Amino acid sequence: MRILLCILLGVALAACANTPENKARFAITGLDVINEYGARFVVAGNRACANNAVGYGKANGKEAGLSALVECAKRRTAALAALQAGVNATSVAIPALDAAIAIKSGNYESVLLPAIAATCSFRQLLSDLGVANVPNPAGVCQ
């Protein structure tokens, strides 16, 4: 009897943790993890780029260094824009998901799609810029 109760309890707990609603919430949390860590990568990458530009300027003259710095600024603008788009999209997705859950729509993927697209696009941009090991919690970005 005790074993049976334990099994039932275990099954119930597992079922509770994996509801579609919680899966959708976990997905948004995963996207925000990417955004948070991605922001740190942007800072580190920008700093490295700026330091390289200074070194390049010292070796090749001020104008060359300033040109390199302009390139850093362009990358920064692109990265921050992508990052901001990802965070904005999750900001929109959170209340939208709450509303979808409230009406028990069951169609949570469509609510998440814009946020997934924006954040995964940011993640891809980081990869393209040479950042390795950007987190991908629960494989939210395929």
Partner 1 sequence: MTIAIVILEFLSALGKYLLSLPEQDAAKVMQSLSDQHLRATKAVADATTQTAADLAAAKTQLDEG
The tokens describing 91, both together, are 């900001």
**Residue span 90-109 as binding mask against partner 1, x where in contact by CB under 8 A, dash where not:** xx--x---------------
Given a contact cutoff of 8 angstroms between Cβ atoms, the answer to whether 124 and 65 are in contact is: no
Q: Is residue 78 involved in binding partner 1 (CB under 8 A)?
A: no
Given a contact cutoff of 8 angstroms between Cβ atoms, the answer to whether 126 and 38 are in contact is: yes
- Please, is 70 exposed, middle or buried when counting C-beta atoms within 10 Å of its C-beta (0-12, 13-18, 19+)? exposed
Residues in contact with partner 1 by CB under 8 A are: 5, 9, 12-13, 16-17, 19, 21-22, 25-26, 28-29, 32-33, 35-37, 39-40, 42-43, 46-47, 50-51, 53-54, 57, 62, 65-66, 69, 72-73, 76, 80, 83-84, 87, 90-91, 94
